[in-house]
A and B are shown apart, each in its own frame.
Chain A
Amino acid sequence: MLEVRHLSVNYRGIQALADVCFKLAAGRLVGLIGPNGAGKSTLIKAILNLIPIREGQVIYQGLPLKQQRQQVAYVPQRSQIDWDYPITVWNVVMMARTAHAGWFHAPSRTSREVVKEALLRVEMFGLRDRQIGELSGGQQQRVFLARAIAQQAELFLFDEPLTAVDKKTEALILEIYAELKAQGKTLLISCHEWGEALNHYDRLLLLNQRLIANGSPIEVMTLENIQCAYGVCPQPQRFHQSKETMYFC
């Protein structure tokens, strides 16, 4: 169980997050949505303690998360990564094993096996010797997915993993979400998708500086909530036909 308590973050004098509270249960796929600049990335970084927190706590299994960072796998936004860095696919994934190996130690045989398995799972083992800049956008995302898998963490934080990926990668990512969920992992994914795609998530967090709604996609995607988060009234669109319910998205 991940618990975020009264989290507030100021960024250069501007309030980026105000009093955000929520709990994430294990084995759930949770989507983090909100307009651009709503503070989705800031929230993920604040949970990881990568930016100064003004107030609040992040507790995992009863202890502050920053004391047990090995439990978290983090996939940053694509734009945060230098794709010209001289590194191959294999070594990017091997980074996940840095903490497991410990200081002064080379990666163990187990680590090499884990990395190989992760690369096979995302169908990138054949390209393991490629420099990361020589891959397509979808392949690059799969490398980072493999890195997250190889870390064998309990809590997964993904920052917009579906941006600029091909259909095949998207399907693969969704499959892996399902596998991780089945293994009882906790997943928080900031996302840009709309409509049907949001039904992949068990829960949604709707954010705009503060947490506007927290619940199942049906509960969260109401006209009132969306207006509150986005400040506009969007065009109504059929959201989930099987239940014959109209949602606004």
Chain B
Amino acid sequence: MLEWLLEPLAFEFMRNALITGILVGVLCPVVGTYLIVQRMALLGDVMAHSVLPGLAIAFFLRVNILFGAFVSGLLSAFLIAWLRSQTRIKVDAVMALIFSSFFALGVLLITLLRNKLDLDSFLFGDILGVTLTDVGRTVVVTLLILSLVKLFYKELLFYTFARDGAEAIGLPVNLIYFGLMAAVTLTIIASMQTVGVVLVVSLLVGPAITAYLFVKELHQMMVLGAIIGVISSISGMYVSYYLNVPSGPSIVLVGFGLFLLAVLFSPNQGILTRPEMVDRSTRIFRQLKDLRRG
């Protein structure tokens, strides 16, 4: 068993991938928690797809592709916020349109600019390609975002709970929105190598909503979410290594498995374990026993 666990660690790429996976496993649920409580989970997906045009242009201009991705992701968030405030179109429809349009633009640009960008690895993650530079970048992004969350925790809590209330006491709500969107974009960029942009929303949302079924405070959701995120990441990597399948889908499916378990068995909210269900099953069981006796 131990050998089975240690074997992949002999490879440098696997060590790098695991470190990145652990960092992303912590980072995604923390940032994702803020999206979920604002009912903006799908925004993660939108922004993940929206980084593509930026990637293509930056690759073509030979500037840092992550800078391009960052600008492009933020642009989509602003476009959504702007359309939402200026028209009566509901946010889900705006998001659907922006997400597909940015993605389409990205695919078009990659073809037109004859980029040698490996689309597949960006879309689904490629642990073979995780370099030390990638690890370094993920460390920086993770530490930066976690420190900012710690520093501005009470302001972010107020903002995500009641935007109007936060604005009423004079908190800079637009700046906070910008900061959150920047954090989401950076998180997506940091996760691109391990899970890929198509699947990163799952890591943003999955572990955090699994945690949501167990807790009653926001910080608990983040901490438990991070633990679940790390478990999903590491298990997914091993599945990916031994079954020779892409890492993104493996991580996502392990996360989904844990979510299903929580939905069924969470002490207060589990479908099979919540107090009224336990009462009902005990009653049915007792009736069956009586029947047998009778």
Known: A85-B37, A107-B154. 7 other contacts (CB 8 A): A45-B164, A48-B167, A50-B164, A50-B168, A88-B217, A95-B162, A98-B155
At the interface, is chain B mostly helix, strand, loop or mixed?
helix
A-B residue pairs in contact (CB < 8 Å), sample of 14: A12-B88, A45-B164, A48-B164, A49-B167, A70-B169, A82-B39, A85-B160, A86-B37, A86-B212, A86-B217, A88-B217, A91-B157, A99-B170, A101-B154
Task: Tell me the smallest distance from the CB of B101 to a CB of chain A, in Å.
Answer: 24
Q: For residue A80, which residues in chain B have a CB less than 8 angstroms away from its CB?
A: 162, 164
**A81 touches B (CB below 8 Å):** yes
Q: Quick check: A87 and B169 within 8 Å, CB to CB?
A: no
The 5 closest A-B pairs by CB, nearest first: A69-B170, A131-B216, A74-B168, A48-B168, A99-B169
Closest to B36 in A: A86
Q: Contact residue range for chain A? A: 20 to 34
**B151 touches A (CB below 8 Å):** yes
Task: Tell me the smallest distance from the CB of B229 to a CB of chain A, in Å.
Answer: 17
Number of B interface residues in the complex (CB < 8 A): 27
Q: For residue A50, which residues in chain B have a CB less than 8 angstroms away from its CB?
A: 164, 167-168
Partner of A98 from the list B37, B154, B218, B220 (CB cut-off 8 Å) is B154
Q: For residue B164, which residues in chain A have a CB less than 8 angstroms away from its CB?
A: 45, 48, 50, 74, 76, 80
**A72 touches B (CB below 8 Å):** yes
Q: For residue B220, which residues in chain A have a CB less than 8 angstroms away from its CB?
A: 86
Closest to A12 in B: B88
Q: Quick check: A104 and B151 within 8 Å, CB to CB?
A: yes
Q: List the interface of chain B (C-beta within 8 A of A).
A: 37, 39, 88, 151-152, 154-155, 157-158, 160-162, 164-171, 212, 215-218, 220-221
- Once the chains are docked, how many angstroms separate the CA of A107 from the CA of B154? 9
Known: A95-B157, A98-B155. A81 touches B170 (CB 8 A): no
Known: A80-B164, A82-B161, A86-B212. A91 touches B169 (CB 8 A): no
Q: For residue A76, which residues in chain B have a CB less than 8 angstroms away from its CB?
A: 162, 164-165
Q: Quick check: A88 and B216 within 8 Å, CB to CB?
A: yes
- Once the chains are docked, how many angstroms separate the CA of A69 from the CA of B185? 32
- Once the chains are docked, how many angstroms separate the CA of A144 from the CA of B208? 27
- Once the chains are docked, how many angstroms separate the CA of A86 from the CA of B158? 12
Partner of B165 from the list A49, A87, A95 (CB cut-off 8 Å) is A95
- Once the chains are docked, how many angstroms separate the CA of A45 from the CA of B217? 28
Closest to B218 in A: A86
Q: Quick check: B162 and A98 within 8 Å, CB to CB?
A: no
- Once the chains are docked, how many angstroms separate the CA of A12 from the CA of B88? 8
Q: For residue B167, which residues in chain A have a CB less than 8 angstroms away from its CB?
A: 48-50
